[in-house]
Amino acid sequence: MPRGQTKRRPQTVSSLLDAALEVFADRGFRGTSIEEVCERAGLTRGAFYSNYRTKEELFFALFDRHAQRVLDRLADAVDAMRGSVEPLAELISRTSAVDHAEHRWYLLSTEFTLHAIRNPDAARRLAEHDRRLRAEVVRLFETLFDQLGRRPTVDLDSLARFTTALHEGALAQSLVEPDQLAPDELARAYLPPLIEAISIAKPDAPQPG
């Protein structure tokens, strides 16, 4: 990406990302033009092209920003489990909140996933970003099981895929039927027994709760 470092660049990038999240969610990834993103951000096309080459590149910048938000939230939740009477309930409560940004990201990421399914190059890039995110989630899962005094008996990369599918599927159903299903309802019902079923207690480990 041909871009020079200036004092204003972080602010420009932040404005572009914020505007892109809103416009992509409102109009769809394919239906949004670069001009519309620039207009929403109050910036010129030159400002866009000094930071990104394409809409896809802009999406992946949004992906990385959201991924860091997810990891920070999960890390804080795992840390908050220490000394909690119900550590998994604490974890689920802290990681299941759906704010405005999370809602918008879900709309965008769902549509981009369909775009990637139809476009092999985009699919390869999306899979690589997903892989890097899962690698970080796996490290946090290792800490989580250690906090619980348990040793997992399944592949943690596969578990990361499963919990992502559970989160995204539950969120979709909750957004369609908000009066029927809370975003964290399925996780609260099924994650605690699942964690127990796919792990064993470490010898002499103190059990939380």
Domain boundaries, the chain: 1-53, 55-201
Percent of the chain scored above 70 by pLDDT?
94
Condensed to tens digits (0 to 9), the pLDDT of residues 32-63 reads 999 999 999 999 999 999 999 999 999 999 99
Q: What is the pLDDT of residue 206?
A: 57
Phi/psi at 151 (5° precision): -115, 125
What is the dihedral sign for C-alpha 71, 126, 164, 195? negative
Q: Among candidates 96, 208, 189, which has minimal Cα distance to 145?
A: 208
Q: Name the pairing type of β-strands 150-152 and 199-201.
A: antiparallel
- Residues 75-98 as b/e (b if ≥16 CB within 10 A, e otherwise) read eebbeebeeeeebbbbbbebbbeb
CATH code of the domain made up of 1-53: 1.10.10.60
55-201 is classed CATH 1.20.120 = no
Condensed to tens digits (0 to 9), the pLDDT of residues 115-165 reads 999 999 999 999 999 999 999 999 999 999 999 999 999 999 999 999 999
